[in-house]
Copies of this chain bind each other. A is one copy, B any other.
Amino acid sequence: MKTQAKLDIAHYSSEPEDLLAYGFDASGLSGAPVMVAWPENTDEVVKVLKYSDGNSIPVIPRGAGTGMTGGAVPETGAIVLSLERMNRILEIDEENLTALVEPGVINGRLQRELADMGLFYPPDPSSMEFCTLGGNVAENAGGPRALKYGVTRDYVLGLEAVLPSGKPINTGVQTRKGVVGYDLTRLLTGSEGTLAVITKIRLKILPQPEDVLTLLAVFPRQGGAERSGGAVSRIIASKIIPRTLEFMDRESIRAVEKFSPIGLPKEAGALLLIELDGHPAAIRAEAGKVIEICEMLGAEVSMAEDDDARDLLWKARRGISPALYQISEKKISEDIVVPRSRIPLMLAALEKLSEREKIKIASFGHAGDGNIHVNILPSEKRDLTPLLQELFETVLNLGGTISGEHGVGLTKRPFIGMEIKETELSLMRDIKKVFDPKGLLNPGKIFP
């Protein structure tokens, strides 16, 4: 391919302030890129990739940089390809319940535009007011509502993307079903920007559920974590699938109340934030059963009576992560998953680990699908690798996975071999070579 001397697109920069701003992401890691490019359409993405390919310069695609594992962190000398100018909602098809969007659209913006039409896009990562749908697809993002509605992967019908060589491709279908050829759509979903740059996304959407009902269950200090874990299992075992079943441990509650108080009971052992949606009669009946289960396990349950009360509870839930940063700037946020029946075992193991290592650990997250955000809060600088290794071993022994939503990126790269064996890793590396033979697209991510 002919080397392009100059990058022929409208918006790019090598100013130091841009290189600094686009050099890091929410993982706290950083690198030193040589250029930031803001293509405005697929043609310009093609130009950036041909330029990178022709000049052998690595390219790092970037949404809003809200990823927790360093997936958008550039290596030295790379071009950061920011998708933020490609932020149009191209189509909302009410009849066929699909939406076509550019990758830079903010998740929360699509949520609101759909809600105004009585429609619904379930995936709701905690960063939904900032994160982009392109990033959501690249990371296969989840969120509280994944329990009932699944993750981003379950909503991606088809993609337009550009290969590292600059060739555009189309994957998947516009329809609900399609089984022609290998599933490149789901292969790109969750590939952390290492296979192709996503330029258009066709999403499946749903009607808004008729009604929503939010419950807060406060478990006592004594055995609160175990009791709340037991409640999670019993709720599901009673054949109720709430749309969210969120857990906060004692540390998380105290952190929220310290830094952005909303009046949660500070002496509680654990909380569950439970949301049911559907037909009003159905969710009232389900709420009755949920309350019974939680009360039997010693919880006090209250119902958010209006939107304001519900928003307050969710503000608390979304405020945990920022509050924990206040406790420890060195916070490491993991997103392990275990089969939900083993959550009590996992929480007990975390308590032991915390005591033995004399390090604060705050846990919260999506208890309904066993996906717990384990936040390690060191009070001083220390090497946490052995602790993480032990944590992941426990998770894997319980039949879990080391990442439910954040991906591997840079931070989990040293540990991927604990979960994925060499034969499977080698298949993945060979797939990477099929898409990116020169290894220029988001190099160094995922694979050790």
Chain A residues with CB under 8 Å of chain B are 93-98, 118, 139-140, 142, 146-147, 150-151, 153-154, 163, 167-171, 173-184, 186-187, 189-191, 195, 206-208, 210, 233, 236-237, 239-241, 278-279, 281-282, 285, 337-341, 366, 369-371, 399-408, 412, 416, 419-421, 423-425, 427-428, 430-432, 434-435, 446
Measured CA separation A57–B287 after assembly (Å): 59
Contact of A416 among B175, B178, B181 (CB under 8 A): B181
Measured CA separation A187–B189 after assembly (Å): 11
* Contact between chains at A150 and B139 (CB < 8 Å): no
Q: Could you name 30 residue pairs across A and B whose Cβ atoms are closer than 8 Å?
A: A93-B339, A94-B237, A95-B341, A96-B340, A96-B341, A96-B370, A139-B179, A147-B176, A150-B154, A169-B423, A169-B424, A173-B401, A174-B339, A175-B404, A177-B337, A178-B401, A179-B406, A180-B401, A180-B419, A181-B408, A181-B420, A182-B195, A183-B190, A184-B427, A186-B187, A207-B241, A281-B281, A281-B282, A430-B434, A434-B434
Q: Which residue of B lies closest to A283 (CB)?
A: B279
In the complex, the count of this chain's copies comes to: 2
Shortest CB–CB separation between residue A281 and chain B, in angstroms?
A: 4
Max chain B C-beta neighbours (<10 A), residue from A282, A406, A407: A282
Known contacts A96-B339, A163-B423, A416-B181: does B146 contact A176 (CB below 8 Å)? yes
Contact of A279 among B142, B183, B281, B370 (CB under 8 A): B281
Shortest CB–CB separation between residue A46 and chain B, in angstroms?
A: 13
* Contact between chains at B177 and A95 (CB < 8 Å): no
Measured CA separation A448–B400 after assembly (Å): 41
Contact of A178 among B237, B240, B404 (CB under 8 A): B404
* Contact between chains at A181 and B278 (CB < 8 Å): no
- Chain B residues in 8 Å Cβ range of A173: 337, 400-401
Known contacts A170-B421, A181-B446, A400-B175: does B95 contact A233 (CB below 8 Å)? yes
Contact of A401 among B175, B279, B424 (CB under 8 A): B175
Shortest CB–CB separation between residue A270 and chain B, in angstroms?
A: 19
Measured CA separation A191–B423 after assembly (Å): 19
- Chain B residues in 8 Å Cβ range of A96: 339-341, 370
